[in-house]
Amino acid sequence: MLGTHLDGSDCMMRFRLLGIGLLFAMLASACSKSSESPQGNVQIVAAEDGAVEVIVGGNSTFTVAPTGPVARNFQERVVGVGAITFERITESADPLSVRSVVNGGSSARVEYANASGSRTATLTASVLNDQVSEFRVELVGPPADSIAVGVRCDADGTFHGFGEQYNATNQRGEAFQLLVNEQGNGRDGSLAPSVGNEHTTYFPMPYYVDARGFGALFDTARRVDVDLCLSDEEVAWFEVVSGAPVQWRVFHGPTALDVIRQLGDLVGRPTQPPSWAYRLWMAAQGGWANVLGEVSGLEDASIPVSAFWVQDWGGIRINPDGGFGVQYIWEPDEVLYPDFAGGVADLHEAGYKFLTYANPFIVDPATVSEEDEPPRFAPRFDSMDEMGLLVKNQMGETYVDFVAPNIPQGNAHPDFSNPETVEFISELLREVVDTYDVDGWMADFGEWIPVDSVHGDGSDAIERRNTFPIDWQLANRTALEGARPDGDWVMFARSGFTGVQEVAQIHWLGDQDTNWTVLDGLPTVVPAMLNLGLAGQPFVTHDIAGFGRGTGPSDRELFQRWTELGAFTPIMRTHDGADKVNNWRWNADEETTNHFRKFAYVHCALMDDFMRLASEAEQTGAPILRHLMLVFPNDRETWDISDQFLIGDSLLVAPVTEEGATSRSVYFPAGTWYDVWTGETVQGGQRSTVGAPIGSPPVYSLDQDREDLRNWESLTYGDCR
């Protein structure tokens, strides 16, 4: 929980959560009996019908719907593998109606009861300060499996966010479950190894921003099912799958950008990466000969690279779908990479940073083939098993999970309910830095804790699944900060939940398919980056040009369009993908090489912008890549745009994500917009179809020209290394 309730309904306190039971820091308190609001321009008013409204500066903002809460009891089953959902088998709903209302200026109380009077509930609401209010609903009576509360759906209200959603930014009219998940592929209903749906995501959050300038965060680590004005156009339902009291915070704004700042004040903010991270990172793998061949080829092509990341440093493994994967181990494969430390040192000497790969699966050596050398996996598994640092199954045995990405190998999972687990893992990961002098890694996965697992402290498995990303990234960050206290390290993770912001650095968007499909491929990148920004994660990256095999390997056009988008992303980074042999690459032909070189330099030209915005983001949470509504909040045309973004307040980027397109529709907010490739201007306040040939994606600068971007050739190779 991000908050707790003291002295009945009299006083409420805000707390910051770092994992579960790791760190609480009291931020503020307020008493709900005061008849006058000490916050001046913020009031909470309960109407006789039970609607409870937060009024800020005389304006109505968040409103609890007059429909009372609903308690439910049910049985449900898990559907899917990796990307899972829950399906109700039986269900009984018990709606509660308003019995009494009490107002107190800066607080309100509503009492509810069901038809028989056997179950009652109390809603209390209190202004904590001029930034935040707190709401709480508590049941009395028969235990419930879930509690649903309704939020009024105003005609002009929006529901932006809910963590890293890939379909759009405004989720109004959608219904889905918020649970840390493998994203899954085949999200459009097609066949895939792990079939997801439109809303399965590595990084969900029970949190949204209303474009009118306020937001709400539900303080729970349990699953939350939302129905956003879909089944009832007047009510958005938030169903917390727990019978415990439901608590949430309302952020007063008064702008959406203020809401993001207020969120960060509560849950923390990521640490910005070092300056070299804003230059090009290249994937390389397959052994030292391949890596050094990549280095040489890029140097010969005068393509400036800051870092190489080598995901197969621990060995190669073939994925279940036939794609190339890696061994799940935190040590080098000395056959593939002999004298690993020496090779890293040589690349450092040449001026490059070196990154590797880690994930939290603890491979059981008994399940490893002789070819893959079981003794390599034994020390880590055996030590954690003996120390009681692995989750158990229902029979009290170590849970060895065969429903995992590296089948037929079986994996155990760290039990982060034991504080010693973070310490043990962080010490092992720190040894990687101390021994080999690597500069960071991809902190992959974090979404696969079984929902039937048993944890040492008796905590709920769903809560542990949702908070696992926090603990996993805490272990990684502790290792890296311990080895490099000067901050010269990077960590890029994919999973998340409320509170991960405090321990995160960079998030990447996960495993998009190497195609153009709307729910699996390139078009998902911009909505996901915007939603991460709304969720308080400004440091984002993605795989150029996708990872999952999808409908086939990447081709030239997809690679070039993804490269263009990558150049206007804070962290520009390639990935060879699962089908690395057949995927299109930067050196597949001369046209691609020239195109890739151009956008590596364009990205370099943006480095000062990214670093300036990164400093701002670290302090305020303001996204580097901004939804248009954050900068133009009074322009309602911007509210539902999720295929364009702004770098800061003034550089408009409209990537081409449709196969074969050489033009696209772009919305221009008010102002004069300069085409960065030509210097020509467009007057804002309109939507216009503009040319978008490969090599010149629509990018416009507000009220001033950006000659530096079209004059990228004036930069030298040395400028961008």
CA 90, 92, 95: angle at the middle one, nearest 5? 155
Q: HSE, CB side, 13 Å, CA atoms: give it for residue 526.
A: 27
pLDDT for 518: 95
Q: Find the mean pLDDT for residues 37-55.
A: 87
pLDDT for 196: 87
Q: Tell me: do 145 and 52 sit in the same domain.
A: yes
Asked if the model's pLDDT at residue 301 lies above 50, the reply is yes
**What percent of the chain shows pLDDT beyond 90?**
89
* Tokens representing residue 385 in the block: 């098993």
Cβ atoms 162, 205 nearer than 8 A: yes
Residue 330's pLDDT band, with cuts at 50, 70 and 90, is very high
State the pTM of this model: 0.94
Residue 39's pLDDT band, with cuts at 50, 70 and 90, is low
Does residue 260 lie in a domain region? no
Asked if the model's pLDDT at residue 30 lies above 70, the reply is no
Tell me how many domains the chain contains. Answer: 3
Among 232, 252, 272, identify where a domain stops: 252
Residues in the chain: 721
Residue 272, CA distances (Å) to 439, 538, 558, 617 in order: 15, 9, 30, 8
Asked if the model's pLDDT at residue 333 lies above 60, the reply is yes
CA 284, 495, 427: angle at the middle one, nearest 5? 75
Asked if the model's pLDDT at residue 455 lies above 70, the reply is yes
pLDDT for 183: 87
Q: Tell me: do 432 and 321 sit in the same domain.
A: yes
Asked if the model's pLDDT at residue 440 lies above 50, the reply is yes
Does residue 406 lie in a domain region? no
* Tokens representing residue 455 in the block: 């944890």
Does residue 483 lie in a domain region? yes
Q: Tell me: do 443 and 565 sit in the same domain.
A: yes
* Tokens representing residue 586 in the block: 């930067």
Residue 193's pLDDT band, with cuts at 50, 70 and 90, is low
Q: Tell me: do 558 and 666 sit in the same domain.
A: no
Nearest by Cα to 239 from 263, 222, 215: 222
Nearest by Cα to 457 from 3, 21, 24, 2: 21
* Domain hosting residue 186, numbered range: 39-212+214-252
* Mean pLDDT over the full length of the chain: 93
Among 577, 594, 621, identify where a domain stops: 621
Lowest mean pLDDT among 185-199, 314-328, 401-415, 456-470: 185-199
Cβ atoms 633, 648 nearer than 8 A: no
Q: How far apart are CA 513 and CA 546, in angstroms?
A: 5
pLDDT for 37: 39
Q: Tell me: do 473 and 588 sit in the same domain.
A: yes
Does residue 28 lie in a domain region? no
Q: Tell me: do 230 and 351 sit in the same domain.
A: no
| 50: CATH | 2.60.40.1760
pLDDT for 189: 76
Q: Tell me: do 583 and 534 sit in the same domain.
A: yes
Phi-psi map region of 32: left, alpha, beta (phi>0 left; psi -120 to 50 alpha): alpha
Does residue 32 lie in a domain region? no
DSSP 56: E
Asked if the model's pLDDT at residue 543 lies above 80, the reply is yes
Among 569, 599, 621, identify where a domain stops: 621
Q: Find the mean pLDDT for residues 700-713.
A: 97
Does residue 399 lie in a domain region? no
Asked if the model's pLDDT at residue 449 lies above 90, the reply is yes
Indicate the SS3 state at residue 589. coil
Pairing of strands 686-691, 663-668: antiparallel
Asked if the model's pLDDT at residue 536 lies above 50, the reply is yes
pLDDT for 31: 32
Asked if the model's pLDDT at residue 13 lies above 50, the reply is no
pLDDT for 24: 31
Does residue 226 lie in a domain region? yes
Lowest mean pLDDT among 196-205, 500-509, 547-556: 547-556
Residue 24, CA distances (Å) to 4, 7, 15, 443, 566 in order: 11, 19, 6, 25, 38
Task: Please give the backbone phi and psi of residue 703, each rounded to the nearest 5 degrees, phi first.
Answer: 65, 0
Q: Tell me: do 656 and 609 sit in the same domain.
A: no
CA 70, 467, 389: angle at the middle one, nearest 5? 130
pLDDT for 319: 76
pLDDT for 6: 30
Residue 9's pLDDT band, with cuts at 50, 70 and 90, is very low
Q: Find the mean pLDDT for residues 160-178.
A: 98
DSSP 443-488: E-------TT-B-TT---HHHHHHHHHHHHHHHHHHHHHHH-TT--
Q: Tell me: do 540 and 655 sit in the same domain.
A: no
Q: Tell me: do 545 and 689 sit in the same domain.
A: no
Q: Find the mean pLDDT for residues 247-262.
A: 98
Q: How far apart are CA 347 and CA 592, in angstroms?
A: 25
CA-derived radius of gyration, the chain:
25
Q: Tell me: do 555 and 681 sit in the same domain.
A: no
pLDDT for 246: 98
Cβ atoms 614, 538 nearer than 8 A: yes
Nearest by Cα to 584 from 606, 616, 562: 562
pLDDT for 336: 97
Q: How far apart are CA 469 and CA 449, in angstroms?
A: 10
Residue 78, CA distances (Å) to 73, 83, 275 in order: 16, 10, 44
| 705: CATH | 2.60.40.1180
Asked if the model's pLDDT at residue 20 lies above 50, the reply is no
Asked if the model's pLDDT at residue 242 lies above 90, the reply is yes
Q: How far apart are CA 46 and CA 160, in angstroms?
A: 25
Does residue 398 lie in a domain region? no
Q: Find the mean pLDDT for residues 277-294.
A: 98
Q: Tell me: do 324 and 234 sit in the same domain.
A: no
